[in-house]
Structures are given as structure tokens and as C-alpha cells.
Amino acid sequence: MLVTLSEILKDANERHYAVGAFNCLSLENVMGALEAAEDLRSPIILQLAEVQFPEAPMELMAPLYLEAAKRSSVPVCVHLDHGQSLETCVRAIRLGFTSVMFDGAALPFEENVGITSEVTRIAKAAGVDVEAELGKVGNSGVDTADVFTDVDESVRFVQKTGIDALAVAIGNLHGHYVHTPQLNIKRLIEIHEANRLPLVLHGGSGTSEEDFKACIHNGICKINVATAIQRRIMKHIQERLAQKPDEEYVPLKQVMIDASREVVTEHIQLFESSPLLAPPTGSTNN
Ligand code: 13P
């Protein structure tokens, strides 16, 4: 069933688990991700980032995401990841996305507040939720100075913009890590204590299990995973092609679905979002 971001994150926020947000670039990705979610009875977020539009145009992907979500027996949120402008967010809203992210993290604080507030005003009128980012989540391989989310700024930002979820920068990076990152959990705890809304961790690929657990028990309710999916698909395709290099036709569709299902299953287990597995370890209800 198709749901909004705040609907899907409410229980996660109360019971201390995270819902996986998986960037899916193909039919096979979407099918594999939803098979994993349904097998484990877990909620899931399908998302597409604006930088991915050249590979997977939003207007083509939206009907796929939305139809898959509506047919699913588990809650599915369809989310725009890293929208770069108000216009992109409005396009996503018109296409039926149930949640949009405006990423103004590179902008001066007041400008980020201004555009995010405008996105929120329009999205709310359409019944759509909003995620925004404060502090800078870098790209792996790129030098990052101290760009962690500032606690006081986060409080002002959340109050002024009326967003539903806040993406934080606590040492996380997008892409494949050269070294396993050390997340600043102390900063996360401070942000969580100051703000009660669901927090989002970007750059999930390559994060250690220990850091994932520390995050989901300290306010992170949504974790974005992109690189790990595409790398797993690539690996499975390489292995499959190597099995019979002289084969004239290699059916790769199922290989891609299986790789997507496998990697999404692993993350659902790590994020503790499946009621079929042990109750969330941070839960007060267990
Ligand atoms: P990774 O590619 O590091 O998993 O990051 C995904 C992400 O944060 C998308 O917004």
C-alpha cells in the first residue's frame, strides 16, 4: 500500500528501528526490493535521486514505483531523494510521490530555510511529506572539513521549515567508502535530544553494523542505501557471465532481481524493520 513518509516513520520513531530507503533504477531493482520487503513483512521506501534522472528519468520511473507500491501488501513510501530545486519537488508531487526531499545543504542557512519552507508549504497542501538536510553529507573520496549538523541550527531549521524528517551529517558519506566510516554518535544523540522528529542517515552503503545499530537506537528512522545495490547487481552479473562465457544469450533479468532482493533483505534485517525477526533491540515494548 502506498503511504506517506510520516506514516511509515511513525512506528519506526516510536519503536527505534529504521525503514530502508532504497534507490531503485530499474524494474528489476523495484521487483527485488519489494519481494524482500514482502517476504519479511517490512515497510520500505522506494526512492530516486535527481542526480539519477539521466539514468532513470523520474517521469518514467514514477508510474513503476507508484503501481508497485499500490499493489504491495506492505507499506511503501515513494520518495524523491535529493531534489535540487523547488521545481523538481513540485514535479515529483504532481507525479504522485508521497514524499520529497529538498536538499539545500550546500546553501547558506537562511536560503536553505527559505526554499525548504516553500517546498513544505506546497507539499503540505498536496498531502505530501518533506525531508530536508542540514550539514553536509560529502561524497567518498572528497575531503570533508567539519560539516556536521549543528544542534542549535537544527532546532531553528526544524521549527522554521515544518519538515517531517531531517537528514543529518555525522560523518556519513555517499558512495563506496574507502575506509569504514566512524560516525559521530554523540552528535546524533544531541540532535535527537533537541528534535523529536525522525532523523535520516544518508550514505548507508558500507556503514558498519555497530554504527547502524547505534544510529537506529538514537533517532535515525530512515536509512538511504544506493551504492550497495548497484554493486551487488554488478557482482552477480559478472559471476553469472563468468559461469558460461561462451553462452550466446544470458538471461540477466532474474540475476538482477535476485541481487536486489538479497541486498535489501540484508539491510531490512540490520535495520530491524521486520516484525518477523526479533523485536527491535532498542524497543521499550519488548
Ligand atoms: P550510498 O550510495 O552511500 O548508499 O548513499 C545513498 C544515499 O544516501 C542516497 O541519498
- pLDDT of 116-174, one tens digit each? 999 999 999 999 999 999 987 766 555 454 689 999 999 999 999 999 999 999 999 87
**Domain containing residue 195: CATH number:** 3.20.20.70
Task: Establish if 244 belongs to a structural domain.
Answer: yes
Identify whether 103 is a catalytic site residue: no
Ligand 1 centroid vs 260 CA: distance in angstroms? Answer: 15
What is the extent of the structural domain holding 78? 5-277
Measured between alpha carbons, how far is 95 from 105 in angstroms, rounded to an integer?
25
Ligand 1 centroid vs 175 CA: distance in angstroms? Answer: 6
Provide the pLDDT for residue 279.
Answer: 66
pLDDT at residue 176 greater than cutoff 80: no
User: For the chain, what is the mean pLDDT?
Assistant: 93
Task: Establish if 172 belongs to a structural domain.
Answer: yes
Residues 6 or more apart whose CB falls under 8 angstroms from that of 149 comprise: 134, 135, 166, 168, 169, 170, 187, 191
Residues 6 or more apart whose CB falls under 8 angstroms from that of 192 comprise: 199, 218, 219
Task: Establish if 286 belongs to a structural domain.
Answer: no
Task: Establish if 154 belongs to a structural domain.
Answer: yes
User: Minimum mean pLDDT among 48-52, 99-103, 248-252: which range?
Assistant: 248-252
Closest CA to ligand 1's atom 9: 224
Measured between alpha carbons, how far is 255 from 253 in angstroms, rounded to an integer?
5
Task: Establish if 283 belongs to a structural domain.
Answer: no
Closest CA to ligand 1's atom 1: 203
Closest CA to ligand 1's atom 3: 203
What are phi and psi for residue 247, nearest 5 degrees? -60, 140
Residue with cell 538511504: 224
Neighbouring CB atoms inside 10 A of 35's CB total: 17
Task: Establish if 44 belongs to a structural domain.
Answer: yes
Which one of 11, 81, 129, 150 is the catalytic residue?
Answer: 81
Provide the pLDDT for residue 284.
Answer: 46
The count of domains in the chain is 1
pTM equals 0.94
Task: Establish if 21 belongs to a structural domain.
Answer: yes
Task: Establish if 285 belongs to a structural domain.
Answer: no
Provide the pLDDT for residue 127.
Answer: 98
